[in-house]
Amino acid sequence: MNAVAIEALAPVSLFISDLHLTAERPATNDRFFRFLSSAAAGVAELYILGDFFEAWVGDDALADPLHAEVAAALRALSARGVRVHLMHGNRDFLLAEAFCRASGAELLPEPFIADLYGQPTLLMHGDALCTDDVDYQHFRRMVRDPAWQVAFLRRPLAEREALARELRNRSEQIKGDKRPEIMDVNAEAVAAAFRRHGVQRMIHGHTHRPARHGLVVDGVACERWVLPDWYETGGYLACDATGCRLVMLD
Ligand code: LP5
Ligand code: MN
């Protein structure tokens, strides 16, 4: 790393999530690579708040050419001095140390409180806030259980990939039968998170409903930023000492 380059980085933190990178959506992948060499190239840090990949079945999936290309692109960004932070989503909760070594990214626990230029900010993927989606929360508890993960990772790669494809199909079918409101965050879960962590700002993705929500929790003004997905356009949140703004790409 080069100290001069690090000093030149702008004191700005960018947040992205829900890119769902896959060889089947080359336009999104290209948009991401352009983002790395433009908006993300000169900032202090990049936070990836989950669902970076369409599905991650274990770090041996780094053998996939797209996965390797993405890891190398992140490594090039971190080599410029940009700190890259990664949080699990519901699609890629199996990202682990080998991916971090290949990409130069640091894996964050969820939830995580980041100090953004003096303002403590709660970071989450967002799925844990969707407490009305009871079936999903049950499923989440199962796949986040370390014993379940050890057993799953023992299966051959091709079998894990087939299971992930099957699960994705099931998820799409099941979502068609769910009311849209149960797939959004639950207001009580949001208020409880602000209360528990004593913060006034939260950033998350998952719901694909980009927005800034102002709310009052126990008499304290708070804000909740929701990140966009990258299916059609994509975008990011940029935060600095003056606050945050959502930037949509075209
Ligand atoms: O992802 P998205 O936004 O479409 O939907 C999510 C919830 N769905 C999921 C599943 C993911 O899409 C697929 C994850 C792939 C991970 C690969 C590694 C692990 C492989 C494990 C193989 C067993 O997270 C969806 C939510 C939605 O967000 C909105 O919040 O509603 O939740 C579901 O659809 C889950 C169902 O409600 C309940 C799960 C039924 C499980 C049936 C088991 C079938 C096993 C299939 C064979 C493997
Ligand atoms: Mn998600």
How confident is the model at residue 78, as a pLDDT? 97
How confident is the model at residue 7, as a pLDDT? 55
Q: Is the CB of 130 under 6 A from ligand 1?
A: yes
Q: Which two tokens stand for residue 39?
A: 């908006």
Protein residues placing their CB within 5 Å of the ion ligand 2: 51, 89-90, 206
Atom of ligand 1 nearest to the CA of 133: 31
Given a cut of 50, the residues of the chain with pLDDT beneath it are 1-4
CB contact set of 234 (below 8 Å; sequence gap of 6+) = 16, 19, 28, 31, 32, 35, 228, 248, 249
> Ligand 1 pocket test: which of 88, 94, 127, 136 has the largest number of ligand atoms within 8 Å of its C-beta?
136
Neighbours of 10 (CB within 10 A): 10
CB contact set of 185 (below 8 Å; sequence gap of 6+) = 126, 129, 130, 204, 207
Burial of 230 (0-12, 13-18, 19+ CB in 10 A): buried
> What digits encode the pLDDT tens for the residues 92-132?
999 999 999 999 999 999 999 999 999 999 999 999 999 99
Cα–Cα–Cα angle for 202, 205, 211, rounded to 5 degrees: 70
Cα dihedral 38, 44, 46, 47, rounded to 10, equals -160
Instruction: Tell me the CA–centroid distance for residue 19 and ligand 2, in Å.
Output: 10
pTM: 0.96
Residue of minimum CA distance from atom 32 in ligand 1: 136
Q: Which CATH superfamily is domain 3-248 in?
A: Metallo-dependent phosphatases (3.60.21.10)
Atom of ligand 1 nearest to the CA of 174: 34
Residue of minimum CA distance from atom 44 in ligand 1: 167
> What digits encode the pLDDT tens for the residues 172-198?
999 999 999 999 999 999 999 999 999
- What is the distance in angstroms between the CA of the first residue and the CA of the last residue of the chain? 32
Beta strands in the chain (DSSP E): 10-16, 43-49, 83-87, 106-107, 112-116, 119-123, 201-204, 211-217, 220-226, 235-240, 243-248
Beta strands in 50-187 (DSSP E): 83-87, 106-107, 112-116, 119-123
Amino acid at 115: D
> What is the separation of C-alpha 183 from the centre of its chain, rounded to a whole number of angstroms?
17
Instruction: Tell me the CA–centroid distance for residue 77 and ligand 2, in Å.
Output: 24
Distance, CA of 208 to CA of 183 (rounded, Å): 10
Residue of minimum CA distance from atom 24 in ligand 1: 90
Q: Is the CB of 175 under 6 A from ligand 1?
A: yes
Amino acid at 132: D
Instruction: Tell me the CA–centroid distance for residue 219 and ligand 2, in Å.
Output: 30
